Structure 1
Amino acid sequence: MPATVLALAPILALAAQTAPVLATPEARDVHSHARPLEARVSHVSLNLFADFDSHVLRGVATLSIDARPGAGQVVLDDNNLRIVSVTDAGGKALPYTVGKGDAVHGAPLTVTLNGAKTIRIAYASAPEAKALQWLSPAQTAGKTQPFLFSQGEAILNRSWIPTQDSPGIRQSWDATIDVPAKLTAVMSGEAKGKAVCKADRCTYRYAMDKPVAPYLIALAVGDVAFRATGERTGIWAEPVTLDKAAYEFGELDKFVAAAEGLYGPYRWGRYDVLVLPPSFPFGGMENPTLTFATPTAIAGDRSLVSLIAHELAHSWSGNLVTNATWNDFWLNEGFTSYFENRIMESLYGQRRAAMEADLAWTDMQAAVKDAGGPQSPDTRLHLELDASRDPDDGMTQIAYDKGATFLRTIEATVGRARWDAYLRRYFDVHAFQPQTSAGFLADLKANLLKPGEAERIGVDAWVYQPGVPANAVHVKSDAFPAIDAAAKAFAAGGPVSAVPGEVTTQEYVRFLTQLPRSMPAERLRALDERFHWNETGNSEIRFAWLQLALANRYPPAKASAEAFLTGQGRRKFVAPLFAQLWGQGDWGRALATRIYAKARPGYHAVTATTVDRLMKAAN
């Protein structure tokens, strides 16, 4: 594995085949208890039993430890794990302590090595482990079998794996998972043979021989089936969802080919997609070899497949080259959002890509406003989150859309040919390594920008200063002026029949977001009766419609909002709608309280924690 190192970013590579750990101050991860420059985990081997009765994973984690000479301890991350014992490879007990922790970061698990290079930790997760969601049959699409899935980003995997849970400490891994015979286990690695079944249990084995950030170790167990979409691509989903999912995401091979044509070979073997039950908190999660995806992306017309382009792009930006800390989350998401749009342009043409980029521009402006305005430090790309803040606080649209706009601005300055050649080289040189903002900027200046270009773009200000610089490239869709005019005409009292009827999802979303937030009920009723947006299965359109309808307390939207908020747990939709209701006085708070009491038990901890916080902050 190449280990090209910038002069300003000294690294410590503790083993020949081990991914480096960056040693610069900017690479210090305040959201992990680990001290990897003293002793670090290089490989994780799991042997776990999935207990659906008690909602725990229990078994043994065997960790390979690379330590500096004289290092007597290794510090791991632990969030409410039930530690049974810690031994060396020969079974000799090793002293350990679980230190004082907090609700966000958990606690340090410090093991005295006594010369051991391998440690074995017998343990169990807690029933309320934050990374794990145990679903009853009623909470699944099929309604017949329970389901389990993990969601590790940002720092939740420490609630089911005792390891150093920092994106800058890349680790290879393997796993043996014992599950009920009626269920199938899938993971973010290569399957090693077929399941071995005895009586009412089956054992599955997976491995990832490439070092990955620990948040990318992912597991799902449920009643799922597989359908190939190509030689190296396919769809996993519950049987009742599989046909729709296989159609919606049936062009995976084309997506992979388009991505490879832009920035080089796909390095992870297979690219499969697992469509999870509706409670999954994100649009998608880029787990290597197996993207986890929300069923809210299934619109029936492939209009929301940019989500797949995004998660696939993470196979380069995020999985291949990873932010060393969560302060540089934009290095994952900004690069990926830019790459996503390039894939969409390659597959569906410049017009669609421009619409999606233009909508993202609007989202960016809204994110700046939500963060407190252009002077807010939270509008910087490189954040300075201290240990008192949850890294989730930095996972806003700023990272995605300001990051992508920054890269688009570089492209406009240097030209697409130079920029693409640079990015392809960048992914090759830094493959399977962590990165920081300082490291990227140094690489950019050394290997792409000519004299004066860094200053003309203002690359340092883009990363380290708040707001959106004046030279930001705004891609404007040529489809939107007509839609904007239609929204203006309708808002002024024009007939609903004049609103375009057969347009794209992106144009409908644009139309809805351009309408004034205050509209008479009869105007909303006219739209409702023509387009039936209260019942649409297109989640993006329904979300935009509900934002408008609820802002005006349109009565028929109450039932639609309840169905939408209890039928899925995607944080992108759930949190803004609850925040909106909570800010609308007694009417909105009463509705939000009633719906949330019903919906919260079905949400993943990621979504529930976010909504809990916003409601608490609003009180």
Structure 2
Amino acid sequence: MKLQIVGATALATVLAACSGATGNSSAATQNVQESAAPAVAPVLTTPDAKDVHSYANPAEARVTHVSLDLAADFDAHVMRGTATLDLKTAKDAQQVVLDTRDLTIASVTDAQGHPLPYKVGQSEPNHGAPLTITLDGNKQVKITYQTSPDAPALQWLSPAQTAGKKYPYLFSQGEAILNRSWIPTQDSPGIRQTWDASITVPRPLTAVMSAEMLTPEGEEASGDRHTFRFRMDKPVAPYLIALAVGNLKFEATGPRTGIWTEPEMLDKSVKEFAELPKFVDAAESLYGPYRWGRYDVLVLPPSFPFGGMENPRLTFATPTVIAGDRSLVSLIAHELAHSWSGNLVTNATWNDFWLNEGFTVYFENRIMEKLYGKRRAAMEADLGWSGMMEAVKAAGGPNSPDTQLHLNMTKDRDPDDGMTDIAYEKGAAFLRTIEKTVGRDRFDKYLRGYFDRHAFQPQTTAGFLADIRKNLLTDAEAKEINLDQWAYKPGIPANAVHVKSDAFPAMDMAAKEFAEGGLVASVPDDVTTQERVRFLNQLPRDLSHERLKALDDRFHFSESGNSEIRFAWLMLALGVHYQPAVPSAEAFLTSQGRRKFVAPLFQTLWDQGDWGKAIARRIYAKARPGYHSVTSGTVDKILNWKTAQN
């Protein structure tokens, strides 16, 4: 059943599942029974768990719960209201230190409304400024504030930037340390917090969040505004608090799954992700119950900077994965897998980002294998290996410390610097190497126990290695794998398991034959997306313009609606100054803001000397206003944008 923004009876009936248990199925009952989480999650105190990207001192005072009461002002592009924080403090605690970024603080009080002394410290690039509040024995503080119109976590879209072209849109993206620009809290992944929120927005817009939805229709706030209420009763890393506001509709795809998006995107989104229930069932069969209640997907406008974001209960997804043939749905497998690796067990600091992403890539591939077979899973794993090797080159080679799993992200580095394919694919290769050593059955049993033992807790690399030595590996097996080399040394170890696709040799041969002058008619056209991407990636980077034209005339790569194929084509064509591909690149770069595509394409253009730099500057000037700060921040560095504009 499709739900309208208006129509209270229909909305309340179908969305009842969003505000509580997920029906009478045994799986849902099991989830409720097994989803118990500690009211206050532990904070790790080992030296490797110290987060240099947060001002917080959780040993003295830490946030345990955040209660937001905010209103969205679409004219001023600000959120304003209050954040009430519950604290756990040491016996002699004098103050609590919070993370903020460009927030205007109006007042800080205790629970009774009495003013508390506070100070906003000096702001630093990336980290923002510390907010230090004198506690005077209080266990709760209330902060009245508003965000900056340029808050990097928030993107305010005009109606023209949406699918419907009629209403504005707002969404947040908090990872890694951006949520401090709209929520004054301790913005560290190791300081897990429960939370609730009341969000007031203009009618007829709907607010959704990464939490249980308590008021599907919204409550009356004033004649032209209404308030939506949410609750997350499980402690989560603060970067996982997420918000979107827009002209949104919902359609269920199962008793505990469904799609939120703009009306104009709903039918195609539901069709693309119709198998959501199967994804959840497959994941649970591997590593235990899904502990978050519902699993819904919000398909965002194309400016969303990531492929997906694993916000609990509500994955945020880019429309660039809607290919019309479900060929890119591994992204959903990835974000769902984060419900265990990342959301359930979370890296304590951004030095150990691989604990989120490496585990998730491994888990994602297991879901894809279970649903689509070993051949499809092998193709995607093999493409991932190639991405890893490219990331090693980009990092400066196998001796670069940035090719380690456990990083040393100093305070002067943005945590985003560590969000490369090293964390994702080297991490997954590490786990596949362990699997090969001990066997899949033993490893699966271990992983299920690992998620149970550390559920709703932070984790470090050292903690994981201690756990696996204790609960899985013999001394001989640990020595054979060489755990410490994998975790703490650069490069890709010689024993790394490389899953090779049996479909790719044919693509490699086709690329070789075409590069040597073979007929375009000999290139297969009835292959999968993954095979087509492999073919394009294997072509030499010095093909003649005549050969590129023959390919495009045959396969129409410049017009492809499949984002992965279009991207692979443009990387090839722009790298040899193929001018006919420039209009396609401009259309692609100005119609979506996914950093995975945008940053490499601008880098490729920039590397082409005067020809490419002129094109890059022209397109970026047009595209930049539509990008989220996550994307524009990366491309600004590539093009020296701020320097060039001064």
- Shorter-chain TM-score bucket reads over 0.9
Measured in 2, the distance between the counterparts of 1:219 and 1:451 equals 47
Select which of 551, 570, 576 maps to 1:546. Answer: 570
The aligned counterpart of 1:7 is: none
Aligned to 2:331, what secondary structure does the other structure show? helix
Deviations 1:374-429 (A, max 9, x none): 00000000000110000000000100000000000000000000000000000001
- Residue of structure 1 in register with 2:438 after alignment: 414
Correspondence for 2:79 among 57, 76, 85? 57
- Aligned partner of 1:428 in structure 2 is 452
Matched, 1:172 2:194: yes
Q: 1:307 to 1:16 in 2, by over 3 A?
A: closer
TM-score of the superposed pair, with normalisation by structure 2: 0.93
The aligned residue for residue 304 of structure 2 is 280
Corresponding residue SS for 1:573: helix
Aligned-pair CA distance for 1:133: 0.2
Task: Please give the secondary structure, in 1, of the residue aligned with 2:88.
Answer: strand
Structure 1 distance, partners of 2:377, 2:53, is 36
- In the alignment, which residue of structure 2 is the partner of 1:141? 163
2:500 aligned partner, one-letter code: K
Partner of 1:312: 336
Find the partner of 1:568 among 554, 572, 592. Answer: 592
Does the alignment pair 1:453 with 2:477?
A: yes
* Aligned mates of 2:431, 2:163 — CA distance in 1: 39
Indicate conservation of the 8 Å contact 2:38/2:234, yes or no: no
Gaps of 5+ in 1: 1-14
Letter in 2 for 1:35: N
Question: RMSD between aligned alpha carbons?
Answer: 1.1
Please give the TM-score of this superposition, normalised by the length of structure 1.
0.97
- In the TM superposition, what is the alpha-carbon distance from 1:613 to its structure 2 partner? 1.0
From 196, 206, 209, the equivalent of 2:219 is: 196
8 Å contact from structure 2 (residues 249, 262) kept in 1: yes
* Deviating more after overlay: 99-108 vs 340-349: 99-108
CA positional deviation for 1:136: 0.3
SS at match of 1:488: helix
Q: Give the corresponding residue for 2:381.
A: 357
Distance 1:616 1:592 in 2: 11
TM-superposed CA distance for 1:68, in Å, is 0.3
Report the number of matched residues: 605
Q: What's the CA shift string for 1:315-359, capped at 9, x where partnerless?
A: 000000000000000000000000000000000000000000000
Which structure 2 residues correspond to residues 375-386 of structure 1 after superposition, within 5 A?
A: 375-386=399-410
SS in 1 for 2:574: helix
Q: Of the candidates 488, 498, 504, which is equivalent to residue 464 of structure 1?
A: 488
Q: Distance in 1 between matches of 2:124 and 2:581?
A: 40
- 1:512 aligned onto 2:546: no
1:250-294 deviation line (CA, Å, top 9, x unaligned) = 110000000000000000000000000000000000000000000
Q: What is the CA–CA distance in structure 2 between the aligned matches of 1:101 and 1:379, rounded to whole Å?
A: 30
1:150 aligns with 2:172: yes
Residue 103 of structure 2 is aligned to residue 73 of structure 1: no
The offset of 1:240, in angstroms, is 0.6
The amino acid of 1:421's aligned partner reads: K
Q: Aligned-pair distance for 1:450?
A: 1.1
Question: CA shift at 1:16, angstroms?
Answer: 7.2
Q: Give 2:277's aligned residue.
A: 253
1:483-531 CA deviation, whole Å, 9 max, x = no partner? 1000000000000000011000000000000000001111101110110
Q: In structure 2, the residue corresponding to 1:534 is in which secondary structure? A: helix
Partner of 1:600: 624
User: Residue 128 of structure 2 is aligned with which of 99, 103, 106?
Assistant: 106
| SS across alignment from 1:133 | strand
Distance in 2 (alpha carbons) for counterparts of 1:108 and 1:555: 49
The aligned residue for residue 268 of structure 1 is 292
d(CA) in 2 for partners of 1:249 and 1:568? Answer: 20
Aligned-residue offset at 1:17: 2.6
In 2, Cα distance between equivalents of 1:38 and 1:118: 14
Report deviation, 1:219.
0.2
Q: Secondary structure at the match of 1:92?
A: coil
The residue type equivalent to 1:513 in the other structure is N
Give the whole-Å Cα distance in 2 for the aligned partners of 1:77 and 1:552. 46
State the Cα distance separating 1:553 from its structure 2 match.
1.3
Q: Spell out, residue by residue over 1:129-149, the C-alpha distance to the aligned partner (whole angstroms, 9 max, x if none).
A: 010000000111111110000
Aligned to 2:560: 536
What is the alpha-carbon distance in structure 1 between the residues aligned to residue 394 and residue 268 of structure 2?
Answer: 36
2:150 aligned partner: 128
Partner of 1:336: 360
Q: Using the alignment, how far apart are the partners of 1:558 and 1:521 within structure 2?
A: 13
Report runs of 4+ in structure 1 exceeding 6 Å deviation. none
Residue of structure 1 equivalent to 2:19? none
Which amino acid letter does the alignment assign opposite residue 481 of structure 1?
Answer: P
In structure 1, C-alpha distance between the alignment counterparts of 2:289 and 2:241, rounded to whole Å: 22
Q: Matched residues in 1 for 2:620 and 2:158: separation?
A: 19
